Structure 1
Amino acid sequence: MENQNNGKIIVGSLLVGALVGATVGVLFAPHKGKKTRKNIANSVKKTAKKIKSEINEDGQYLKDKASDFGNLIESKISTAATSFKDKANELLHNGSDHQMNKK
Structure 2
Amino acid sequence: MCIGIYLQFCIEQQKIETMNNNSNTFLGILAGTAIGATLGILFAPDKGTNTRRKLVEEAQATKDQLAREANNLQDRVADVVSSKKETLDSRVESLVSDVSYKADDVISTLEKKLGELKARNKKLQKTSV
- The TM-score with structure 1 as length reference comes to 0.91
Which of 23, 30, 42 is the matching residue for 1:7? Answer: 23
Cα distance in 1, alignment partners of residues 75 and 98 from structure 2: 34
Which of 9, 12, 37 is the matching residue for 1:21? Answer: 37
2:87 aligned with 1:95, yes or no?
no
Deviation at 1:29, TM superposition (A): 3.6
Q: Look up the equivalent residue of 1:86 and give its one-letter code.
A: Y
Deviation at 1:9, TM superposition (A): 0.9
Number of the residue aligned with 2:72: 57
Structure 1 gaps of 5+ residues are none
Deviation at 1:7, TM superposition (A): 0.6
Structure 2 gaps of 5+ residues are 1-16, 120-129
2:60 aligned with 1:45, yes or no?
yes
Q: Spell out structure 1 runs of 4+ moving beyond 6 A.
A: none
Query: Could you give the per-residue CA deviations for residues 20-62 of structure 1, whole angstroms, max 9, x where no partner exists?
Result: 11111121143x1112101110111001111111111111111
Cα distance in 2, alignment partners of residues 29 and 60 from structure 1: 42
Structure 1 vs Structure 2 CA RMSD:
1.1
- How many residues in Structure 1 have an aligned counterpart in Structure 2? 102
Deviation at 1:101, TM superposition (A): 2.0
Partner-residue secondary structure (3-state), 1:90:
helix
Which of 28, 40, 51 is the matching residue for 1:36? Answer: 51
